[in-house]
Amino acid sequence: MVMLYLFNSPLGPISYRWDGEACQEVSLSAQIGMPESVDPVSEWLNAYFSNQQAPLPLLAEAATPFQERMRQGLLAIPFGEVRTYGEIAATLHTAPRAMGQALGGNPLPILIPCHRIIAADGLGGFSCGIEWKKKLLKFERSF
């Protein structure tokens, strides 16, 4: 059974859907959920917000092979660093626009760090809102 949990991060509430085996979705908005749980997602989030490393929890499968390649490309970007849409698209042998569309459909923000992708001339977009993107980048750069 998929349960919705609430994680109170230093940047604001985060909710996530956990089915007991894999994280299905992460939402960077205040949603009603079960109180904080001790599971691989909460453990990873605690480590992330403490600037520590923890093994990534099992994640729901990517919808397409391209999205799986995108995930691997994003996971290769170190904490506190950014890449442009063009840079990550070149690494993955695709177009920046296709990359942007795939990023917009990322159901696992933070865990799959799409916030680390910026436009060549600014921040670019973020499906969770530009304020969350700014907060996450500022947080990562503070370490």
Nearest to 46 by CA among 128, 110, 137, 103: 110
| Catalytic site includes residue 114 | yes
Q: Which of 70, 114, 128, 136 is catalytic?
A: 114
Task: Report whether 56 contacts 72 (CB < 8 A).
Answer: no
DSSP designation for 58: P
Residues annotated as catalytic (active site), given as ranges: 114
